[in-house]
Amino acid sequence: MPITDDLRKTLSDPTPLYALAGAGDFAVEKLREVPERAAAIAADRRAAQEKATARLQEAGARLTEAQAKVAESVSTLPTDLKSLQEKAQGLALQSVGRAAELAVKAREVYDELAERGKVVVDRQRKDTADDLAGIAVKAESKADAFAAGVDRVSDAAVDEVIEVAEFVEPEAPAKPAAKRPAQRKGASKE
């Protein structure tokens, strides 16, 4: 089933995850710049307000001029509808070209974010592996220290047992060691 295969391929593709991770990393990078930008904006706010007031006054004067020009343009509108249709078609074609251009740009940005996300994910995996290796080394050294402590305690216990045995039977003759039964030929050794 082609739909099932397409769906399986889409769901197993890690590119969207990488793009999301890249977008998150990009957002964090930009958020780090926010305090500096906020300080600059606060410093420039008063100057901007003064400029805005001056521009508002200037815009009022231009609006009056524009109203006069609009009135003049309305009176001189071309009556030829064919020329208006041609202009509209030209603008439509320009818009289609611009839309295609933006689609290509969006795909490029998506691919860049996916690549950036892949780098972030790979870096995170490496950091996690390094952390686990460090934990393993610490665990191994603690296990070695514990084994050495067990050996010391075991040796001390053996010494105590020997001392108690000597105290209980100070002159006991040494008993010969028990013989092991002979191993049969062909028996497997463990």
Q: Is the pLDDT of residue 170 over 80?
A: no
Would you state the pLDDT for residue 99?
92
Structure confidence by residue, pLDDT tens digits, 76-130:
665 566 777 888 899 999 999 999 999 999 999 989 988 988 998 888 888 888 8
How many other β-carbons are positioned within 10 Å of the β-carbon of residue 120?
19
Task: Give the highest mean pLDDT range of 42-51, 132-141, 172-181.
Answer: 132-141
pTM to 2 decimals?
Answer: 0.41
> Residues of 65-102 as b/e, b for ≥16 C-beta within 10 angstroms?
eeeeeeeeeeeeeeeeeeeeeeeeeeeeeeeeeeeeee
